[in-house]
Amino acid sequence: MTKITGNEFFVKALQEEGVEHIFAYPGACVIEIFDEIYKQTQFDLILPRHEQGLIHAAEGYARSTGKPGVCLVTSGPGATNLVTGIADANLDSVPLVCFTGQVATGLIGNDTFQEVDIVGITRNISKYSIMVRDRAELNTAIKEAFYIATTGRPGPVLVDLPKDVMAEIGSDIYPEKVNLRGYKPNTKIHDRQISKAINMIYKAKRPMFLLGGGVKIARAVKDMTALMEKSEIPVVTTIMGKGSVPTNSPLYYGNVGMHGCYAANNGVNSCDLLISIGTRFNDRITGKLGTFATEAKIIHIDIDTASISKNVTVDVPLVGDAGEAIRKMLKAAEERGACETGKWRKQLEEWQIAEPLQQEEKEKLVPKQIIDAINELYDEPIVTTDVGQNQMWTTQFFEIYGRRQLITSGGLGTMGYGLPSSIGVAIGNPGRDVISISGDGGFQMNSQELATAVSEGLPITACIFNNGYLGMVRQWQDLFYNKSYAGTCLLRRKGRECDVNLRKGTKHCNGRKAECYPYIPDFVKLAESYGAQGIRVTKKEEIAEAFAKAKAKKDGPTVIEFMIQDEELVFPMIKPGGPITDLITGM
Amino acid sequence: MNKTDNDMKRRWLSLFVENRIGVLARVSGLLSGKSYNIHSLTVGETENPEVSRMTVCLDADDRTYEQITKQFNRSVEVIKVIDFTNLSIRTKEVMFIKVSGLNDRGRAELFQMAQAFKFRIKDMDSDSVLVEAVRTEIKNDSILNAIRSRFTNLEVVRGGPVAIESISMQDR
Ligand SMILES: Cc1ncc(C[n+]2csc(CCOP(=O)(O)OP(=O)(O)O)c2C)c(N)n1
Ligand SMILES: [Mg+2]
């Protein structure tokens, strides 16, 4: 054993973990770590332009590759800028290891320059967070951080690194094993419980799979697809679960939840057995609690005990790895054959025909036209979304099969997620087509990351659905708040008619007018100012050409601003807090 | 399906946790962050200096309680969770009461009460008396009520109950 500094050990530990990229932003408390990173070539350092963009990039990287995303930021503001991303990763079970610099231990508690209690701040929004107080603890702390982040239900782990601890000399040995007496994730599926579940499946008349994000996290899409096909049990998904089986399968009936489709929501409410895997039955899925899946017995498979029976009472709980459970069910299905679901599926199909997911063509572009084009023009894109209407349309219309992926901020619903996460995706998946879809509001929350994409030469296609509004909030105002459009127009300018009206007490902006200022900002110019390709699309006929140009640009990002029908709404919609059968269809 | 349990009752949990900075904050933060209302929480080192033990006492319905224990179980800092609710346990709580503004009659009465209610007089001066009661929480409640009914000028400090699994005799 040779003795090395904490800073030197940090680099060694990351190399031992096989880290290939670190998303890092410098500052006084991490400058020495940067200095060590500079001396090596095993992993590279990506410099995003804001720590929020940084952590979303790490999330995109982690979700698309299954490997942990690694962040390194300085103390104080560097650390607090991570907070939104940590909460996001926590709710969506994304493995992240976040290293934060910290002032020297002797100064902690003094309100030292750039000192914040980041461990305290993140304690309730991370899987685990810890300060390394002693050089002797550093080696195991890093090992444990990677272990905790990536095992069980994955999540973000924060490791706070005081400057003096990192400067100290200590062991250079990276531990091989962890010994955490308080953390022993259970992956093994209980045999008796699974047999019970399988028996229920073969007794059910109207069984249905409800799949959440956990199936993809468990990398069990192939086995799940085989299980669906062998058992002939219909499948619905949450938005996080979309893509757990190919969406073009005849046994797939779409998303459930607030903007889920009629057949899927009706299906959940009419099935007599719901086999849900890797979802916590969040309120956006269930609608009003107590009205969800009222006719069904529920089998719930989840790696996280605390997710079971949290929101919905479950008949057969199964704690463990979704992949293992799926493979056990698959084995049974191979032996016992298909369930008799013909009549049940016919019912679902009738609902599908009665209320298909659709969107009428309008004067301007409608989002479905754009997403249909992506479906057609790209083979295996990885699509990230922002939050709002743009996200819901994408999760409704994007078809996922083969190696296609959809990456979206489901649990926290973080605006500003789309562009930076796509950067992490592109870094982790060179050669793949990467597309981000954002609203004009959310794009502006992290538009600085265009610089990162340009610097790294990433051929991302960043789509902006520009409706001039904070569309999703405006939709709620439109439907439930008497069309009082408070604070949802992104184009309002002082002195113009809408502003004058507002002052006179006429509360409505009454929609887009000729005199409205068309761009705040002009996204094409914004793109160009970063050295990215900028394209504006206003007509359906221009869509394919724009994507062709984007594909042709191999050495950097393209921003395509789609001027969409500005008052378009997302349908169907369940009234917030209402039962999921109470669907507003908009027709 | 989706039955709403209305079975609020007093629950007891014994947690074995890492004896480290921040662990108390983690445990109490977990309870407050999820809006679980705790009745009391005590903590102290065990026979192993690396491990602390917490006694958590709270009122919850079955479903909430199940969530709470699961949340504790999955916390890295929590080594082991024992549900004391239905086990035979021995509990004690330390309570101090300082009674001031006493005259001779009042003091004499307090000394009598000490005999009857089994608490101790630990300190005094010309007009105040310090009472110490190390009993179960419920008995401490009775002691406090009794003193409160006779005296007005009180200062009360309670430690919250600590609990251990009993060997043969329950005392809660
Ligand atoms: C950081 C953050 N702030 C606020 C919200 C609330 N919110 C949800 S959707 C939305 C509007 C999004 O507008 P835009 O990005 O233009 O997308 P659109 O709905 O128009 O497609 C808002 C403000 C949020 N989800 N995240
Ligand atoms: Mg918008």
Q: Chain A contacts of B7, Cβ < 8 Å? A: none
Is A472 annotated in the active site? yes
The pLDDT of residue A152 is: 96
- Amino acid symbol at A239: I
What are B34-64's pLDDT values in tens digits? 888 889 999 999 999 999 999 999 999 988 8
What's the mean pLDDT in A103-129? 97
Cα separation, A330 vs A311, in Å, equals: 27
Of the three residues B86, B102, B127, the one that is the final residue of a domain is B86
Cα separation, B52 vs A73, in Å, equals: 33
Hey, where are the domains in chain A?
3-171, 191-354, 367-468+519-571
Catalytic residue, from A472, A523, A533, A565: name it. A472
Evaluate whether residue B3 is within a structural domain. no
| Close Cβ partners of B39 (under 8 Å, ≥ 6 residues apart) | B10, B57, B58, B59
A416 SS3 class: coil
Nearest atom, ligand 1, residue A393 CA: 21
Whether A469 lines ligand 1, by a CB cut-off of 6 Å, is: yes
Enter the tokens of residue B73. 């179980």
Q: What is the CA radius of gyration of chain A?
A: 25
User: Using CB atoms, which residue from B17, B26, B70 is nearest to A123?
Assistant: B26
Please give the residue of chain A at the shortest CA–CA distance from B2. Answer: A313
Query: Does B82 lie in the same domain as B15?
Result: yes
CB A10 within 8 A of CB A99: yes
Contact B76 A183 (CB under 8 A): yes
Query: Does B102 lie in the same domain as B47?
Result: no
| Close Cβ partners of A186 (under 8 Å, ≥ 6 residues apart) | A152, A303, A305, A319, A320
Evaluate whether residue B104 is within a structural domain. yes
Contact A312 B71 (CB under 8 A): no
A6 CA from centroid of ligand 1 (Å): 42
Query: Does B78 lie in the same domain as B99?
Result: no
A487 SS3 class: coil
Q: What angle do CA B172, B13, A309 make, to 5 degrees?
A: 130
Q: Chain A contacts of B25, Cβ < 8 Å? A: 120, 123
User: Using CB atoms, which residue from A123, A128, A294 is nearest to B25?
Assistant: A123
Whether A472 lines ligand 1, by a CB cut-off of 6 Å, is: yes
Cα separation, A437 vs A560, in Å, equals: 10
DSSP state string for A469-480: B-HHHHHHHHHH
Lowest mean pLDDT among A249-253, A347-351, B64-68: B64-68
The pLDDT of residue A506 is: 57
Q: Does A130 touch chain B (CB under 8 A)?
A: yes
Same fold, A191-354 and A367-468+519-571: yes
Residue A96 phi/psi, 5-degree rounding, is -130, 145
Cα separation, A266 vs A345, in Å, equals: 12
Contact B22 A292 (CB under 8 A): no
Whether A392 lines ligand 1, by a CB cut-off of 6 Å, is: no
Yes or no: domain A3-171 corresponds to CATH 3.30.450.20: no
User: Using CB atoms, which residue from B2, B29, B78 is nearest to A289?
Assistant: B2
Cα separation, A203 vs B20, in Å, equals: 51
What are A476-513's pLDDT values in tens digits? 999 999 888 888 999 888 777 776 666 666 555 667 77
Strand blocks (E) in A6-139: 21-24, 44-46, 69-73, 96-102, 128-131
Question: A587: pLDDT confidence band, cut at 50, 70 and 90?
Answer: low
pLDDT above 60: residue A522? yes
Q: Does B76 touch chain A (CB under 8 A)?
A: yes
CB A238 within 8 A of CB A411: no
| CATH code for the domain of B109 | 3.30.70.1150
Query: Does B40 lie in the same domain as B63?
Result: yes
What is the extent of the structural domain holding B57?
9-86
Query: Does B69 lie in the same domain as B54?
Result: yes
Contact B76 A180 (CB under 8 A): yes
Q: Is A86 left (phi over 0), alpha (psi -120 to 50) or beta?
A: alpha
What are A278-296's pLDDT values in tens digits? 999 888 888 887 888 989 9
Cα separation, A69 vs A54, in Å, equals: 10
| Close Cβ partners of B51 (under 8 Å, ≥ 6 residues apart) | B16, B17, B18, B19, B45, B79
Q: Chain A contacts of B74, Cβ < 8 Å? A: 152, 304-306
What's the mean pLDDT in A433-445? 98
Is A200 annotated in the active site? no
Q: In DSSP terms, which residues pair with B14 in a beta bridge?
A: B55, B82
Cα separation, A231 vs A216, in Å, equals: 20
Whether A151 lines ligand 1, by a CB cut-off of 6 Å, is: no
Q: Does A15 touch chain B (CB under 8 A)?
A: no
A495 SS3 class: coil
Four-residue CA torsion sign, B109, B111, B113, B115: negative
Query: Does B104 lie in the same domain as B145?
Result: yes
Query: Does B71 lie in the same domain as B16?
Result: yes
C-alpha distances out from residue A157 to A31, A423, A521, Å: 21, 21, 37
Is A113 annotated in the active site? yes
- Cβ neighbours around A430 below 10 Å, total: 9
Q: Chain A contacts of B30, Cβ < 8 Å? A: 124
- Amino acid symbol at A297: K
Residue B82 carries which DSSP code?
Answer: E
Whether A108 lines ligand 1, by a CB cut-off of 6 Å, is: no
The pLDDT of residue A504 is: 63
Q: Which of the listed residues A55, A84, A239, A387 should we mutate to test ligand 1's pocket, taking the one with most ligand atoms within 8 A of CB? A: A387
Q: What is the mean pLDDT of chain B?
A: 92
Whether A85 lines ligand 1, by a CB cut-off of 6 Å, is: no
The pLDDT of residue B3 is: 40
Which of A317, A258, A216 minimizes the C-alpha distance to A575?
Answer: A258
Query: Does B71 lie in the same domain as B113?
Result: no
Cα separation, A320 vs A307, in Å, equals: 12
Query: Does B129 lie in the same domain as B76?
Result: no
What's the mean pLDDT in A533-551? 98
Is A561 annotated in the active site? no
Q: Chain A contacts of B79, Cβ < 8 Å? A: 181-182
Evaluate whether residue B170 is within a structural domain. no
For residue A521, whether the previous peptide bond is cis, meaning omega lies within 30 degrees of 0, is: yes
Question: A184: pLDDT confidence band, cut at 50, 70 and 90?
Answer: very high
A225 SS3 class: helix
Domain count across chain B: 2
Query: Does B76 lie in the same domain as B15?
Result: yes
pTM, 2 dp:
0.95
Q: Which CATH architecture best describes the domain A191-354?
A: 3-Layer(aba) Sandwich (3.40)
Calculate the dihedral angle through the C-alpha atoms of B127, B132, B136, B138, rounding to the nearest 10 degrees.
10
A586 CA from centroid of ligand 2 (Å): 19
Q: Which ligand sits nearest to residue A418's alpha carbon? A: 1
CB A354 within 8 A of CB A262: yes
For residue B49, whether the previous peptide bond is cis, meaning omega lies within 30 degrees of 0, is: no
Enter the tokens of residue A6. 């904490």
Query: Does B81 lie in the same domain as B98?
Result: no
| CATH code for the domain of B39 | 3.30.70.260
- Amino acid symbol at A506: T
Four-residue CA torsion sign, A64, A67, A73, A77: positive
Please give the residue of chain B at the shortest CA–CA distance from A272. Answer: B1
Question: A580: pLDDT confidence band, cut at 50, 70 and 90?
Answer: confident
Whether A530 lines ligand 1, by a CB cut-off of 6 Å, is: no
CATH of domain A367-468+519-571: 3.40.50.970
